[in-house]
């Protein structure tokens, strides 16, 4: 697997040129029937291929997940790519071993994340792997280095070309799955808690989706500070897991009003609230802050309802979007912060500092990513579904390991059932839409002083929706 002997031919993630056309069933596309995609990748990746000295520059292929258009889980397709990469100065080629799934990937699939270029494009903002080639001017990475990678997109494929300063050396003994689970969640949780949040002993923190990737990272990081109380929301079935992970008070947001639950225990409110939800939950968070409290909002998960873009959910999120005047902040002595790692990609030095701190904490065994499940590239749809339907506890990982033949046959059987699943999904989506509509009506009634401008915004969205119909 010596990278220099067998330079991987690959499209630049930014300037993607598809040499294979996206089809419904990627498996039927490659020459060697069903096993071909994995086979092709093996050819490029195994030492055997190198020793034979075939003209690899021309035959080199690798598998890549490609978002072919905005929509449901089936819009991310497994394709086989050909192409000779020309590494620019400062870049490295990484043979990818494992990739992390993030909420932004789910948003991106629905067209709700503006840091991903238009389809067709390969998603994926974190992975782990082995350096297979280095470009000019790269001095601190060498062929064979095990690295984790953070990039704006383009990492859900077997080989990826990235700037060397987007890679971080994997500590001794850390698995590729673990390494792929670490960067996005832990950097996000760390910067929110310790940069914006300025977390100190004896403080209280609310962690939404405490069983999710960021939630688990945040809980572990909270426990590195003395006597911090962590309120964590999750459905009841996950309470044992999050409590063992460090959550002090687990709250079932599906059956209880989390604001009331927090007030029962902490009547004065909280010091730090991490808000991945957006919309009306941001308002609730703001009101739950103590004086000198910090609200850190880092997403709009409330926008996601169903596997396709749900315009009602999006409109509702906009309608309820939190906006704050300085006078209110001054009188409340409060802080409102926004965080998203996807918009920090220019801050390589800052991110490297944070990553080093996080890796130190890992080496001291103070933090450890929790893997929920690992999926083959062929299974990316199911992997996304698991995360989006919030059935995961911890990180959902993709592996580039070839899928064993027997599993593939299993998968084929599943494929037959997929049509049924699709129907189910549609039903679910329709139900969610109905629910959203109902709740919206309820909310509208509740809402005091509706702002005309925001209403217009909503009406616009509604119109767009009609047009699309």
3-class DSSP assignment, residue 71: coil
Residue 182 DSSP class? S
**Binding status of residue 450 toward a copy of itself by CB under 8 A:** no
Distance CA(108)–CA(155), nearest Å, equals 14
- Beta-carbon contacts of residue 296 (< 8 Å; ≥ 6 apart): 192, 196, 197, 272, 273, 274, 275, 337, 338, 339
**Binding status of residue 17 toward a copy of itself by CB under 8 A:** no
Q: Name the maximum alpha-carbon separation found in the chain.
A: 74
Distance CA(175)–CA(195), nearest Å, equals 28
- Spatial contact of 188 and 217, defined as CB atoms under 8 Å apart: yes
Residues that bind a copy of itself (rule: CB under 8 A) add up to a total of 41
Distance CA(303)–CA(301), nearest Å, equals 5
Q: How many CB atoms are located within 10 Å of the residue 33 CB?
A: 9
**Binding status of residue 331 toward a copy of itself by CB under 8 A:** yes
Please report how close the Cβ of residue 201 comes to a copy of itself at its closest, in angstroms: 12
3-class DSSP assignment, residue 383: helix
Stretch that binds a copy of itself, among 28-36, 50-58, 294-302, 410-418 (CB under 8 A): 294-302
**Binding status of residue 343 toward a copy of itself by CB under 8 A:** yes
Distance CA(149)–CA(348), nearest Å, equals 12
Please report how close the Cβ of residue 197 comes to a copy of itself at its closest, in angstroms: 8
Contact pick of 344, 361, 401, 439 for a copy of itself (by CB under 8 A): 344
Distance CA(258)–CA(206), nearest Å, equals 10
Distance CA(364)–CA(362), nearest Å, equals 5
3-class DSSP assignment, residue 38: helix
Identify the CA nearest to 137 among candidates 85, 84, 86, 92: 92
Contact pick of 169, 225, 324, 352 for a copy of itself (by CB under 8 A): 324
Stretch that binds a copy of itself, among 37-45, 124-132, 176-184, 298-306 (CB under 8 A): 298-306
**Binding status of residue 48 toward a copy of itself by CB under 8 A:** no
Please report how close the Cβ of residue 354 comes to a copy of itself at its closest, in angstroms: 10
Contact pick of 340, 427, 431, 447 for a copy of itself (by CB under 8 A): 340
**Binding status of residue 347 toward a copy of itself by CB under 8 A:** yes
Contact pick of 74, 332, 391, 429 for a copy of itself (by CB under 8 A): 332
**Binding status of residue 334 toward a copy of itself by CB under 8 A:** yes
Radius of gyration over every alpha carbon of the chain, rounded to an integer in angstroms: 23
**Binding status of residue 191 toward a copy of itself by CB under 8 A:** yes
**Binding status of residue 321 toward a copy of itself by CB under 8 A:** yes
Contact pick of 2, 19, 292, 407 for a copy of itself (by CB under 8 A): 292
Q: How many CA atoms lie within 13 A of 420 on its CB side?
A: 5
Distance CA(438)–CA(315), nearest Å, equals 14
Please report how close the Cβ of residue 265 comes to a copy of itself at its closest, in angstroms: 19
Build a one-symbol-per-residue string for 245-284: x at contacts with a copy of itself by CB under 8 A, - elsewhere: ---------------------------------x---x--
User: Which parts of 115-154 interact with a copy of itself (CB under 8 A)?
Assistant: none
Q: How many CB atoms are located within 10 Å of the residue 217 CB?
A: 29
Contact pick of 336, 359, 380, 384 for a copy of itself (by CB under 8 A): 336
Chain centroid, CA 395 distance in Å: 9
**Binding status of residue 3 toward a copy of itself by CB under 8 A:** no
- Spatial contact of 430 and 422, defined as CB atoms under 8 Å apart: no
Query: What is the dihedral sign for C-alpha 195, 198, 200, 202?
Result: negative
- Closer to a copy of itself by Cβ: residue 143 or 324: 324
**Binding status of residue 297 toward a copy of itself by CB under 8 A:** yes
**Binding status of residue 449 toward a copy of itself by CB under 8 A:** no
Please report how close the Cβ of residue 337 comes to a copy of itself at its closest, in angstroms: 4
**Binding status of residue 337 toward a copy of itself by CB under 8 A:** yes
**Binding status of residue 202 toward a copy of itself by CB under 8 A:** no
**Binding status of residue 287 toward a copy of itself by CB under 8 A:** no
Please report how close the Cβ of residue 313 comes to a copy of itself at its closest, in angstroms: 15
- Closer to a copy of itself by Cβ: residue 144 or 338: 338
- Closer to a copy of itself by Cβ: residue 62 or 113: 113
**Binding status of residue 326 toward a copy of itself by CB under 8 A:** yes
- Closer to a copy of itself by Cβ: residue 89 or 350: 350
Identify the CA nearest to 96 among candidates 52, 156, 54: 156
- Spatial contact of 271 and 205, defined as CB atoms under 8 Å apart: yes
- Spatial contact of 309 and 316, defined as CB atoms under 8 Å apart: no
Please report how close the Cβ of residue 276 comes to a copy of itself at its closest, in angstroms: 11
Q: Under the rule (CB under 8 A), what is the footprint of a copy of itself?
A: 191, 195-196, 198, 278, 282, 291-292, 294, 297-300, 321-340, 343-344, 346-347, 350, 451-453
């Amino acid at each position: 697997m010596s990278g220099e002997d067998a330079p991987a031919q690959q499209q630049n993630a930014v300037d993607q040129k598809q040499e294979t056309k996206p089809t419904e069933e990627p498996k039927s596309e490659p020459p060697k029937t069903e096993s071909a995609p994995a086979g092709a990748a093996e050819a490029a990746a195994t030492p055997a291929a190198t020793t034979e000295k075939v003209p690899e520059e021309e035959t080199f292929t690798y598998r890549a997940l490609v978002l072919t258009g905005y929509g449901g889980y089936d819009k991310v397709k497994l394709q086989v790519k050909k192409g000779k990469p020309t590494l620019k100065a400062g870049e490295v080629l990484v043979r990818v071993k494992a990739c992390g799934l993030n909420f932004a990937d789910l948003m991106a699939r629905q067209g709700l994340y503006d840091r991903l270029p238009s389809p067709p494009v390969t998603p994926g903002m974190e992975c782990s792997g082995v350096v297979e080639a280095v470009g000019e001017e790269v001095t601190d990475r060498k062929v064979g280095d095990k690295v984790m990678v953070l990039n704006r997109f383009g990492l859900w494929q077997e080989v990826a070309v990235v700037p060397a300063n987007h890679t971080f050396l994997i500590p001794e003994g850390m698995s590729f799955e673990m390494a792929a689970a670490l960067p996005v969640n832990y950097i996000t949780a760390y910067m929110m808690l310790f940069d914006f949040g300025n977390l100190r002993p004896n403080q209280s923190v609310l962690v939404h989706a405490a069983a999710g990737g960021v939630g688990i990272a945040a809980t572990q990081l909270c426990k590195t500070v003395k006597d911090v109380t962590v309120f964590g929301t999750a459905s009841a079935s996950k309470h044992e897991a999050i409590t063992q992970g460090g959550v002090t008070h687990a709250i079932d947001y599906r059956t209880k009003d989390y604001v009331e639950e927090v007030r029962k225990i902490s009547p004065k409110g909280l010091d730090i609230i991490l808000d991945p939800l957006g919309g009306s939950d941001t308002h609730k968070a703001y009101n739950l802050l103590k004086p000198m409290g910090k609200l850190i909002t880092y997403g709009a998960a409330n926008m996601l309802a169903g596997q396709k873009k749900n315009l009602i959910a999006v409109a509702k999120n906009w309608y309820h979007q939190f906006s704050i005047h300085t006078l209110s902040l001054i009188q409340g002595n409060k802080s409102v912060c926004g965080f998203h790692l996807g918009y920090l990609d220019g801050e390589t030095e800052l991110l490297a500092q944070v990553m080093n701190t996080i890796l130190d904490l890992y080496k001291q065994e103070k933090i450890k990513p929790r893997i929920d499940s690992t999926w083959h590239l062929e299974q990316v749809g199911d992997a996304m579904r698991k995360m989006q339907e919030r059935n995961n506890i911890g990180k959902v990982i993709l592996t580039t390991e070839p899928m064993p033949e027997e599993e593939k046959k299993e998968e084929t059987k599943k494929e037959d059932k997929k049509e049924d699943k699709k129907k189910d999904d549609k039903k679910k989506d329709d139900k969610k839409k109905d629910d959203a509509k109902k709740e919206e009506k309820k909310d509208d009634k509740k809402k005091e002083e509706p702002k005309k401008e925001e209403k217009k915004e909503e009406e616009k969205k509604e119109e767009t929706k009609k047009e699309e119909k």
